Amino acid sequence: MFSNEPLADKLRPDSLDTFVGQSHLLSKGKPLFEAINSGLLHSLILWGPPGVGKTTLARIIANQADADFVSLSAVLAGVKDIRDAVTRAKNNKENLQMNTLLFVDEVHRFNKSQQDAFLPHVEAGLFTFIGATTENPSFSLNNALLSRARVYTLKPLQKIDLARILENSLSAVNSALEEQIIELSDDAQQLLINAADSDARRLLNYLELAIKLIRTDTKNPTITSSLVNEVVSTGLRRFDNKGEDFYNQISALHKSVRGSDPDASLYWLKRMLDGGCDPLYIARRVVRIASEDIGNADPRALDISLNAWQTQERLGSPEGELALAQAVIYLACAAKSNAVYKAFNTVTTVIKQTGSLEVPMHLRNAPTKLMKDEGYHAGYRYAHNEVGGFAAGETYLPKELQNQVFYEPVERGLEIKISEKLRHLKKLNKQTT
């Protein structure tokens, strides 16, 4: 049963009848299902997480259409490989009257020149193109290619799908064995499914390793939960650093904190750490969240976030990760304000629109006699010498921006007090005019 070929490849389904999952695409009446069954080929892109059947589905499409299946890896293939595929497709068409299906795995890694190399042949109908990607194709593929290939989104496999794959695979393994039948305990099954994390390839790799490690000198060899724990001890959650999941999860963390949900915030933090994300990256993002979404409503949030960053730097993982959890929970529970964030964006826009406005004369420093003679610093009122430490009626913006307001505190947290003070100062300013 066991050769050098991985179990996941050995047991790869060869028809839609044996393919598991993606019912939203492959149920009767669905366009993709009907197209495959009819053998009508069209260029397409299969977008989904690892181990959900992208390569398998491409092979099934080729089989159903009696097409020559040519596979390229975008990581390894160069322009020469594409030319060789084109030559093979021409020979198939001219000499064998056979269609060709060109499958490009990890197509998001193809650069523009590589995409341009085979695009004319897709347009000419020399071969049918199927690309597989874990990344959003709208970010990585050029518009010309996207316009000629329909995108189908494959979903993560559900536990019921993985259970079915596991059952079918173990049955196939046992059918190949001459004497002994390998059993799988219920606890072990659940551990395998959970560890697979929606990835069928990972599931079968774990199963294969468990079978190879099982004791065969017993009457009824059984894959137990303890054996599975040994096999999956180094497994990580699906994350794909710097990929689609990376940005989706950091977005979920940010939005959970902004939405004042400490439980969801902690969940997404741990998901990212569990998936192998650099804790220092998370620390930097948490500091950003403290300023963007909490700001002066609770200035302690920034201190706590910076302390968590420093703790992670000093202690490393896993000790420092608890400080990140503390910070994230505090931020989620803190009063929220985006007033600083909005003010910063507003002033950025105003500066772009107004250019380099002159500094008012009374705000300019005058260290030399010439500068004093020119009127620098003239009329400036030293606030500490004024009643209440406030120079009522004084102006500090360029004259073109007088009465411009950037910072508008919200009525939450400490900004309630800040808002009250600013209203008071504004009133004093009006009394002097």
pLDDT digits (tens, 9 = 90+) for 66-109: 888 888 888 777 778 888 888 888 888 888 888 888 898 888 88
Q: For position 335, what pLDDT does the model report?
A: 94
pLDDT average, residue stretch 39-51: 84
- Name the residue with tokens 């060709």: 100
Give which of 245, 257, 315 is closest to 287, Cα–Cα.
257
Are 43 and 124 in contact, with CB atoms under 8 Å apart? no
Average pLDDT on 159-166 reads: 89
300 or 9: whose pLDDT is higher? 300
pLDDT value of position 180: 65
Asked if pLDDT for residue 259 goes beyond 90, the answer is yes
pLDDT band at 357 (very low <50, low <70, confident <90, very high): confident
Confidence of residue 317 (pLDDT cuts 50, 70, 90): confident
Mean pLDDT value across residues 323-345: 95
Q: Identify whether the C-beta of residue 61 lies closer than 8 Å to the C-beta of residue 19.
A: no
39, 15 Cβ separation under 8 angstroms: no
The residue that leads in pLDDT, 291 or 174, is 291
**115 or 390, greater pLDDT:** 390
Name every residue whose Cβ is closer than 8 Å to that of residue 26 and which is 6 or more positions away in sequence.
Answer: 16, 19, 32, 33, 36
Q: How far is residue 102's CA from residue 119's CA, in Å, rounded to a whole number?
A: 12
Closest Cα to residue 28, out of 42, 40, 16, 12? 16
Q: For residues 49 and 55, is the Cβ–Cβ distance under 8 A?
A: no
Q: Is the pLDDT of residue 428 over 50?
A: yes
pLDDT at residue 100 in the model? 84
Q: Are 415 and 296 in contact (CB under 8 A)?
A: yes
d(CA 287, CA 303): 9
Give the pLDDT confidence score for residue 298 in this predicted structure.
95
Q: Which residue has the tokens 């896993």?
A: 318
Residues 369-394 have a mean pLDDT of 89
pLDDT for 192-250, tens place per residue? Answer: 888 888 888 888 888 888 887 776 566 778 888 888 887 776 555 555 555 567 778 88
Report the length, in residues, of the chain. 433
The residue that leads in pLDDT, 289 or 173, is 289
How high does pLDDT run on average in the chain? 85
Distances (CA, A) of 267 to 167, 254, 261: 31, 12, 10
| Predicted local distance difference test score (pLDDT) of residue 87 | 87
Percentage of the residues of the chain whose pLDDT score is greater than 70: 94
H or E element that contains 44 = strand 44-47
Q: Can you give the pLDDT at residue 215? A: 62
Q: Model-level pTM? A: 0.60
Query: Which position has the higher pLDDT, 57 or 2?
Result: 57
Instruction: Give the helix/strand (H/E) hosting 151.
Output: strand 150-153
Q: Given this model, what pLDDT does residue 302 score?
A: 96
At residue 293's C-alpha, the angle toward residues 290 and 299, to 5°, is 45
What pLDDT, on a 0 to 100 scale, did the predictor assign at position 261? 93
List domains and CATH numbers for the chain: 22-153 (3.40.50.300), 159-231 (1.10.8.60), 244-333 (1.20.272.10), 357-431 (1.10.3710)
- Indicate if the pLDDT at residue 179 is higher than 70: no
Neighbours of 263 (CB within 10 A): 9
Comparing 33 with 293, the larger pLDDT belongs to 293
pLDDT value, residue 9: 77
pLDDT band at 1 (very low <50, low <70, confident <90, very high): very low
Averaged over 291-319, what is the pLDDT?
93
